[in-house]
Amino acid sequence: MENLDYDALRLIGKILGDTFEDNILVHISQTEYVVYSFPASAEIPSCYGYIVDRTPEYLEKKGVLKILLRNQYAVKDFRQSTIPQYQRPMIEFLAEQAGIGYKNFTKKTRDFSHYSFYAPALKNIAVSAARGLCFVVVNRKRAMKWMDDLKLKERQRVSFPEERPYWYEMGQLHFRLADGSTDQLDFSKAPISRKIFEAFWSLWVTDNKGEYTAEEIVKKYKEIHRETFEASKVGERVSNARTTIVNRKVTIRDRVVWEYNKTSNKWIFKLS
């Protein structure tokens, strides 16, 4: 599965898990995978983050969502009397455009005349925190079908050795789950974490011991990547990889043991 698919799958999965609506209005912007919100503007719905630049357009092409507006926050139930006269024509235009997009996508009518629209800076939100901002509508039925089709395709593509419920390929550590589906840890966009993981992975699949000295790890690292680093830096790199990649995946993080044993003075690395 490509990084674009991973990013889109994470984004849509989180949105669907947080609501029961058939057609979901929500903001998305380019940040981490987790949901975030803006305390300074409580009336603005939480935004869901994506990473890859093309993710919204990709999902729109797949028929999963429709981008109604870009670079604008939509706020429902505002009082028109509080809006300066000179701003009203633009707000009315944006409301009309959102309504047209919504109807074309859902085949249903939605009145956006009671919405107001703001650029991030006007709501005390740093523009950097709203990079790639889109106001979108997600169709639950189409989204669920796309997710199911993508997961089926992934199960068919990834070939797991019979003796292992996991496999590593192209920066992706795949795990087979109890229901037959798969989930992944994605090291592909984190080169430093990927390199240290690949050193541990290479040792693990070679001997299956699961205990290695820092010197053994550095030696394997140099052998694989044709570069080296100090053994004292192993802990820092492992900690970063666990924090930013492994620990974020609640469904599979317990299947990765990756820690330092002070008693044996060795690193423990085991997959299950």
Residue 157 lies in a domain: no
Between residues 200 and 116, the one the model is more confident about: 200
Q: What is the DSSP letter of 24?
A: E
| Domain co-membership, 125 together with 166 | no
Domain boundary among 90, 118, 146: 146
Q: What is the DSSP letter of 189?
A: T
pLDDT of residue 126: 65
Element (H, E) at 115: strand 115-118
| Confidence class for position 89, pLDDT limits 50, 70, 90 | confident
| Confidence class for position 28, pLDDT limits 50, 70, 90 | very high
pTM for the full predicted model: 0.58
* CB atoms closer than 10 angstroms to residue 204: 16
Q: Give the whole-angstrom CA distance, residue 214 versus residue 144.
A: 45
**CATH at residue 205:** 1.10.10
pLDDT of residue 151: 72
Residue 22 makes CB contacts below 8 A (sequence gap 6+) with 139, 140, 141
Q: Give the whole-angstrom CA distance, residue 238 versus residue 152.
A: 32
User: Angle, to 10 degrees, between the axis of helix 191-207 and the axis of helix 234-241?
Assistant: 100
Residue 156 lies in a domain: no
Cα angle, residue 74 at apex, residues 73 and 75 outer, rounded to 5°: 115
pLDDT, tens digit (0-9, with 9 covering 90-100), for 154-167: 655 555 455 578 88
| Domain co-membership, 121 together with 167 | no
pLDDT of residue 2: 47
Domain count within the chain: 2
| Domain co-membership, 29 together with 131 | yes
State which residues form the domain around 142.
Answer: 3-146
